A = this chain, B = another copy of it.
Amino acid sequence: MVSQAMREIGCRRSAIREAYEYGLRRAAAVGAERVFDFSLGNPSAPPPPETIAAFLDVLSTCSPDQAHGYTVAPGSPETREAVAASLNRRFQTDFSARNLYLTCGAAAALSIVFRALTIDGDSEFLAFAPFFPEYECFARTAGAQFAAIPADTHRFQIDFDRLERALGPHTQGVIVNSPNNPSGVIYSEQTLRTLAQILKRKCEAFGHPIYLISDEPYRELRYTDERIPFITELYDAAIVCYSYSKSLSLPGDRIGYALLGTRMPDFDDVYGAIAGSARIQGYVCAPAVLQRVIERCSALDVLPDLSGYRRNRDALCGGLTGTGYRCVPPDGAFYLFVEAPGGDGDAFAALARSEDILVVSGRSFGCPGFVRVSYCVPHEMILRAMPGFRRLYERARAR
């Protein structure tokens, strides 16, 4: 006597979680040092020292009401001003508090935005494979349609012909995720400019905005100096969903935001719908103490120390490609998206378990011929796993 849809979603295990839980059982059986778990996206770097200092400062200098009291639903105005000012300094944007709606991380921002933009059962959202599987879950349970545009598996940029064919009069939103989970690829400025051009043209043809939902939890995890314009500078109807989970290594604490471009058409309607969607989903305000922490980190433009991830990326990418594996060199995030030797991600992920190597099949990301290898892990584990990866490569190709 409950919602069967909710029960099924609640009882279904994601491929990522299934791999992680298998790893825990295996570690209990054979010892943790024998299991090579590359399944999770849990930052292995500790929070930056400024973040820990900010926590202690909030607890020791704020009044109880400032540190732990209700804020207005979109988040404390001072916090939003500080976040906006930091973005403006870093990206030459023009944001203020009113552009921001603070949320319990990017997942909350996304689920809120999908619901806010769903007009009726015909409303459709498009994502480019490979994509984070929760997009589909959020879109469909908001009552909308969802479609994935097949991957350009050569460079993991956008296949614009397929995009053009997929866009229709009911398209409400297009989701981009750069740096990408699971490919680690960053969309080039040219990719984003072409995307914006096509969307603008289609907006005019269909007579209504198509929102560009930019999911950016990995924005600060880039291993290249290439400067790419902030998405709202390229497209007016852009909504950024952001999380501090990866940049400040606070994934469990749930703090992030939805951000609307200043030149967003019908700005007040979109912001109002986001406020309504947050309210009906029980989001009273983002955790107050975390708001105060990011306020302080924003004042200092705190960024993550990427040296550990970079070292891991180089060791893993170099080690695997040296063996014969193929992947697009990842410029961001902390994932390597590897062509499964033998061509089947499910089969390779299953085979890898015989070496106690845990990776996630690309199937749930919309790319069944790949596996995702997370490198937010201890560096020495990458080195110790290499012989196993080499054996796997030969075995998978021999099958």
Binding site for B on A (CB under 8 A): 1-11, 42, 46-47, 52, 55-56, 59, 64-65, 68-71, 103-105, 107-112, 115-119, 134, 137-138, 141, 172, 208-209, 249-254, 266, 269-291
Instruction: Please give, as numbers and ranges, the residues of chain B lying within 8 Å of A2 by CB-CB distance.
Output: 116-117, 119, 266, 269-270, 272-273
Q: How far is the CA of A3 from the CA of B114 in the complex (A)?
A: 10
Set B8, B116, B278: member contacting A3, Cβ < 8 A: B116
Q: How many copies does the complex hold?
A: 2
Given contacts A7-B272, A275-B11, A276-B8, contact A108 B209 (CB under 8 A): no
Q: Are A7 and B273 in contact (CB under 8 A)?
A: yes
Q: Are A115 and B3 in contact (CB under 8 A)?
A: yes
Q: Are A252 and B287 in contact (CB under 8 A)?
A: yes
Q: Are A282 and B107 in contact (CB under 8 A)?
A: yes
Q: How far is the CA of A266 from the CA of B138 in the complex (A)?
A: 26
- Most B-side CB within 10 Å, residue of A5, A6, A59, A254: A6
Instruction: Please give, as numbers and ranges, the residues of chain B lying within 8 Å of A291 by CB-CB distance.
Output: 252
Q: Are A69 and B251 in contact (CB under 8 A)?
A: yes
- The distance from the CB of A58 to the nearest CB of chain B, in whole angstroms, is 9
Q: How far is the CA of A301 from the CA of B281 in the complex (A)?
A: 30
Apart from A108-B281, A254-B284, what are 9 other A-B pairs with CB-CB below 8 Å? A3-B119, A3-B273, A7-B273, A9-B279, A11-B275, A68-B250, A69-B251, A104-B282, A112-B282
